[in-house]
A and B are shown apart, each in its own frame.
Chain A
Amino acid sequence: DMKVTQMPRYLIKRMGENVLLECGQDMSHETMYWYRQDPGLGLQLIYISYDVDSNSEGDIPKGYRVSRKKREHFSLILDSAKTNQTSVYFCASSYRVYTEVFFGKGTRLTVV
């Protein structure tokens, strides 16, 4: 069963706390992504990873960093979370950068 799994699904953090969002995929895809989705803004690419330790900034990388030490696992880290980082975060993966993308169900992060 091909899937992208995100943990946790819901998270509430206080401003200034560190946040770790985890993502795994079981398809041996090379490419993985982190997006955030906000009302009226659609999906915005935070980071893209082409393979292990090969990460590239997306459109809105400020305030985020990522880690990919295994092909099947991609983490998004928020150091000292801010209230404007309240959003729904989607992890995704694809076989190649230009092929169809498979999405996880999302993590709804609230920073208070």
Chain B
Amino acid sequence: AQSVTQPDARVTVSEGASLQLRCKYSSSVTPYLFWYVQYPRQGLQLLLKYYSGDPVVQGVNGFEAEFSKSNSSFHLRKASVHWSDSAVYFCAVSVSGGSNYKLTFGKGTLLTVTP
């Protein structure tokens, strides 16, 4: 069974500063990895995904994430945040496994960008 841990429930950064949101996963096989963002009163939207290959994946709105098999991590980064990036960010992991499949989400990190 897989699991996802987002160790930071809340992160506050200043506009223009760099950002890293942490995600650690546990899985018996190399999983598929995702970052989703949720704006207020909205559903989750995909930011980026990792299936295989280059460990650094680019997403929308300047976000990127780096997969590390040795650290079992998939941290999200952005070089310069904007106030509109304030939202809840979810890391998720899935493995293909027929009837035992499930997509597992972390509990989310609330990002607040201050002026």
Binding site for B on A (CB under 8 A): 4, 33, 40-43, 45, 48, 56, 58-59, 90, 92, 96-106
Contacts and interface: CB of A to CB of B under 8 A. Distances in A.
A56 B99 contact: yes
Contact of A42 (B94, B96, B108): B108
Contacts of B74: none
Given A42-B106, A43-B105, A100 B49 contact: yes
Interface in B88-107: 90, 92, 94-96, 99, 101-103, 105-107
A24 to B, nearest CB: 14
B11 interface: no
B43 A104 contact: yes
A40 B96 CA distance: 27
B105 A98 contact: no
Contacts of A59: 102
Q: Which secondary structure dominates where chain A touches chain B? A: loop
A48 B104 CA distance: 12
Contacts of B92: 101
Contacts of A56: 99
In the complex, the 8 A-B pairs of residues with the closest C-beta atoms, listed nearest first: A103-B43, A42-B107, A98-B96, A97-B101, A43-B105, A103-B44, A105-B43, A98-B94
Contacts of A106: 41-43
A44 to B, nearest CB: 9
A58 B102 contact: yes
A100 B34 contact: yes
Given A98-B32, A103-B45, A104-B43, A41 B107 contact: yes
Q: Which of B45, B90, B96, B105 has the most CB of A within 10 A?
A: B105
B46 interface: yes
Nearest to A94: B103
